[in-house]
Structure formats: structure tokens, C-alpha cells
Amino acid sequence: MPERPQGRFKIRAQRLKFALGLVVVLAGARAIQVGVVNASSLRAHASTQQSKTYDVPAPRGDITDRNGVELAVSQPAVNVIADPMIIKNPNKVAEQLAPLIGRSALELLPKLSDRSKGFVRLARKVPASNGDRIRRMAIEGISFEAAMLRTYPRGQQAGQLIGFVGDAGHGMSGLEYSYDKYLAGSDGRRTTVFAGGNPINVNETQRARSGARLKLTIDAPVQDEVERVLAGVGRVFQPKGATAIVMDPRTGNILALANWPAVNANMVGSASPYAQMNRASGFTYEPGSTFKAFTIAAALQERKVTPDTQLFLPTVLQVGDRTIKDSHDRGDETLSVSQILAQSSNVGAAQIGLRVGRKKLDYWIRKLGFGSPTHSGFPGEEQGIVLPLSKYSSATVGNEAMGQGLSVTPLQMAQGYAAIANGGVLRSPRIADQVDGKPIASRPARRVLSLATSLRLRRMLKGVLADGGTASGAEIPGFDLAGKTGTAQKVDPATGTYSTSNYIASFVGFAPARSPRLLAAVVVDEPQGDIYGGSVAAPAFSRIMAFALPYLGISPR
């Protein structure tokens, strides 16, 4: 019997209903599988595609001497990172990495074995060449951060002057510190997208900006010679330290600045705090007889004396509660002001200071730059100590006139003598010449002495190196030199009185005397065996000038 149409329709409807139900069931099962069963595997897959943002370190600007010789440079480097949770053989990895990152295997092993940490920085600023060697090892769990390594190609040359850079890439001392805003540049930012651990896209969100190039006034060969001379002073006299400055008195440009003991800026951490100090600007001392030139300058300016004025010098001079006598035994005698300077008489200098008077002497001391920083650009520059008039005692004028009772820096002394050499015009010492080729403006110069006083002092200071002067053995054949010796007692910090064993030996001078083009100052802290400026510091001055004058093309005339 034929099937009825209504029956066929009912069967088809049941079949369609069954099919739709089956689709719903299958879809639900797939949803359960995706949401529950395969959730962990999907999350793992998603984690293989992610992005990370890194700093891109900016190259720090180079520091060069005035002729472009590199004194400080930056090189690409890497920080080496470990994930101890992935490291499979810590002992083997430690042995592999140790010679390439400057650490011992014993030092690395605990870091590589600590599985409680997923990030350990094993070494900072590893040279890029070593980083490439580590990469080629393909050690699972070792990764890298980009970095920049600051190096000093000439090692110990001008180590205290240039300073060094810390781990964060900023200057920590010296010119690296004081000119950091120019040298540092600014880091960039880079975002990298990874899939399956491999980079698939790199986007530089912020471009790194390199630091500026800093050109100094330093002349590398002159600097080398000065450091050799100071090393010789160190060998012969075994002092606590020594400092020398070479300057063009016409411009204030510093051609060399050295300190002994020397410091290698690549390994500055191994040096003592005293050795690390740039003592040209950070060390204060009582100048002793080198200061007498300024006492006489004040007297000449105030017309209290002339170079030929005759003064009677008793064997002993009482000034207030202070008894003053000369360093060498002599009887009562009469000397000219020029002879007083050449022979470095304490009694004569004190008498000249008394003629000037307390107010005028204080005025000229400050006008000549003492008691104030030189504004040379060195960080941590000391300004010395000059007593205010309100604290003068009855003996202060006599003490200051011969270089006691006040403190100065070697740089202040060089600046003051440069004013004498430069016709009475005082200029701040300059060490930084250009930033990225643009000249750094000099501070305004100012006249502190008349030209006539300057010329008289030049002639008088020649006598110090002539027969009978305190530095008669420091002459250079063919050149007329001018300068002054100093031998000053240091104050014993334990007693507050002058030491009988610790001295500062110094010499400051220039050449040619008639038309000065080069100046040098040498300060030796606590020399042993000999203490006198004429026999310790003056020969060092002579050796420096004997090299620098012909090297710089300066003729005797």
C-alpha cells in the first residue's frame, strides 16, 4: 500500500530535527574541547607570539685632545643574562662563559644554579667581540642586552682629568661628569615581536641620539711628557703626590694637566681616593714663597715700593705675636725688592706686606683670584681659603705676605702667574674647547694689574733663575725663564701647628720672560729626602719646558 504524503513529511521532519541536534551536540563538544581540553596548549601557543620593549643605548660622545687624538671613546657591548631555570649544565656553562666575561667559574656557578630565579645578569658591558663568541655557542638560557662600553685608549693619560663613567652610562668624575649633559646623548626604545621565540617584527619607537664630541685644549704629546716628568719626581723623591699644569697664558688654554700617582681610567676602582683626585683643582695648600710675587704685585700697584727700593732686613722680625725669620741663616742686611723676591726672603716679604696694609693686601689677594674658584669647568673645584678682614690677627698680614695663613689650589696659582705673564689680564683656565665642532665661549677676561706692574714683575722673576736665585739650576739654554720657588710647611692635622717633616715643594714660571707664551706649575706634596722647591719642583719645571717650548715651535725670541 503506497506511503501517505503526511507520513513522509513527518519522517523527514524527524530526520532534520535529529541532524540539527547532532550539529548542536558536536558544536558543544568542540567548544568544550577548545575551552577546557586544549586551553593550556592554546595559551602556550599564544605565549610564543609576544612583544618586548628594549632600551637602545646611545653612544657616548668621544673626548679628544686639541688635535683629535682620542682620549675617551664608546664601543658596542652587551650585558650577558642568564635564566637559571633553563640552564641544563651550570658547571659547563660557567666554564664556557668565565674567560669571556671576566668572571671566575666559581663566581658564576651559584648564579647559574639558582633555579628560583628566571633572570640573572652575569656581566655588564662585555665587549661586542666576546658577546659574538658567546652567541655562537648557542647556550640555551643565555641572552643579551645591548650596551655601550666606555674605554680610554691612552690608559693612564690624564686619568684624573678625564674621569670615568658608571654602569648607568653617566659620568662619575672628572670631565666625564662635568660635561655629562653633552656627552651622554639619549637612549632609544625598540619593540620586538617574537613568534616561537624568533623575532618577526622590529619597531624603533624612539631613535637613540648619540652624545656630542668634546674637544679639549690638551695636547697629547705635552701631556705624555708631563706625566713622564712627574713619574720621575715620584721615583726620586717618593712624595705623597705631585701635580703639574701647562698653560698658554695668553688664552688660558690648558695644554697638559697631570697628577701622580697616575690612574688608569679603565681600572679606576683599583686606585686610592687620593690618587683619583684631580689635585690641580681639588687640592688646597699653603703656597709659601710662590705667593710672594703677588705681595710684591700689590705693593707695586699701591706704589709702596719699586723693584729697586732698598729695605733693611733684621735677622728676626716680630709681627704681632709671630716671630719671622728667613729659611737660611744670615745676619742683618739691606736688600732691594728685586733681591728679596729672587732670594725669597720671608722677612723682606713680611715688611713689604706691612707697607701695603691689611685692607689693601686683602683687596689685591682677592682681585688676583684667590679665595674664589677659577671657573675652569672642573667638578668639585676648591676655592681655597682667604681669611675675612674681621678674622685678621696682628700677625695675619706678615703671614699672608710670605704665603702662610691662606690656602690656594695649583690651578689658582697657575691662573695668577698667567695674569703676570699676560700683561696683567686675568683669564679663567680653559680645558674644554669645542662641543661637536662649536667653540665653547671663554669667560670674560679682566685686568687685575697694570701693564707696567706686569712688566716689572716679569723682570724681577727672571732673577729667581739667575745666579744667586733660589732656582738658579733650572735654566734652559737659549731661553730667558721667569718664575718662583716655594717651600711651604704643611699643617699637622693632629696638632694644628706647622709640621717639621711634611712640606709642599713648588715652582711656577713661564717663558720666554719678555713675551711669555708658555707657563707651567709644579706642586709636589710631601717629598722625601729633599723638601725645597728649587731642587724638587724647579728641575721638573725645566724638563717640562725644555720639551714643550721647541715642540710647540716657541723660539727664544
Backbone φ/ψ region at 13: left (φ over 0), alpha (ψ -120 to 50), beta? alpha
Coil vs helix vs strand at 209: strand
Closest CA to 542 of 460, 456, 472, 488: 472
- The per-residue pLDDT for range 5-33, each reduced to its tens digit, is 555 545 555 555 555 555 444 555 554 45
Residue 473, C-beta contacts closer than 8 angstroms, at least 6 positions apart: 534, 535, 538, 539
Question: Helix (H, G, I), strand (E, B), or coil: what is residue 554?
Answer: coil
The C-alpha atoms of residue 162 and residue 177 are separated, in whole angstroms, by 9
Cα angle, residue 315 at apex, residues 345 and 290 outer, rounded to 5°: 15
Nearest to 236 by CA among 538, 534, 527: 527
Task: For domain 220-551, give its CATH number from 3.40.50.150, 3.40.710.10, 3.40.630.30, 3.40.50.360.
Answer: 3.40.710.10
pLDDT average, residue stretch 462-487: 83
The Cα 232–Cα 260 span in angstroms is: 10
pLDDT of residue 182: 95
List the single range of 150-164, 359-373, 419-433 with lowest mean pLDDT. Answer: 150-164
Place of cell 744670615: 330
Contact 183, 214 (CB under 8 A): yes
- Long-range CB contacts for residues 328-335, cutoff 8 Å, separation at least 24: 334/310, 335/310, 335/311
Quick one: pLDDT at residue 36?
47
- Which residues, including other chains, have CB under 8 Å from residue 269's CB and lie 6 or more apart? none
- Please report the pLDDT score of residue 37 as a whole number: 45
How far does the chain reach from its first CA to its final CA, in angstroms? 143
Question: For residue 4, what pLDDT is reported?
Answer: 52
Q: Locate the domains of the chain by residue range.
A: 52-97+119-131+142-216, 220-551
397 phi and psi, to 5 degrees?
Answer: -60, -45
Q: H/E element holding 294?
A: helix 292-301
Q: What is the dihedral of CA 319, 322, 326, 328, to 10 degrees?
A: 150
Per-residue pLDDT at 201: 65
What integer pLDDT is reported at residue 18 of this predicted model?
55
Report the percentage of the chain scoring pLDDT > 70. Answer: 88
Percent of the chain with pLDDT over 90: 67
CATH architecture of 52-97+119-131+142-216: Alpha-Beta Complex (3.90)
Classified as helix, coil or strand, 334 is strand
The span from the CA of 278 to the CA of 282, in Å, is 6
Task: State which amino acid sits at residue 80.
Answer: V
Mean confidence (pLDDT) of the chain = 88
Contact yes or no for 126/77 (Cβ under 8 A): yes
Question: How confident is the model over 170-224, as pLDDT tens digits?
Answer: 999 999 999 999 999 888 887 766 565 455 666 777 887 889 999 999 999 999 9
The tens digit of pLDDT for each residue in 422-466 reads 999 999 999 999 999 999 999 999 999 999 999 999 999 997 887
523-557: pLDDT as tens digits? 999 999 999 999 999 999 999 999 999 999 998 86
Residue 270 has pLDDT above 90, yes or no: no
Handedness of CA 266, 272, 274, 275 (dihedral sign): negative
Query: Which of these ranges, 52-61, 327-336, 355-364, 436-445, has the smallest mean pLDDT?
Result: 52-61
Torsion 277-278-281-287 (CA) sign: positive
pLDDT at 45: 46
**Strand bridging mode 70-82 / 188-195:** unpaired
Distances (CA, A) of 459 to 249, 258, 416, 450: 17, 29, 16, 15
pLDDT for 474 equals 76
pLDDT of the residue at 8: 53
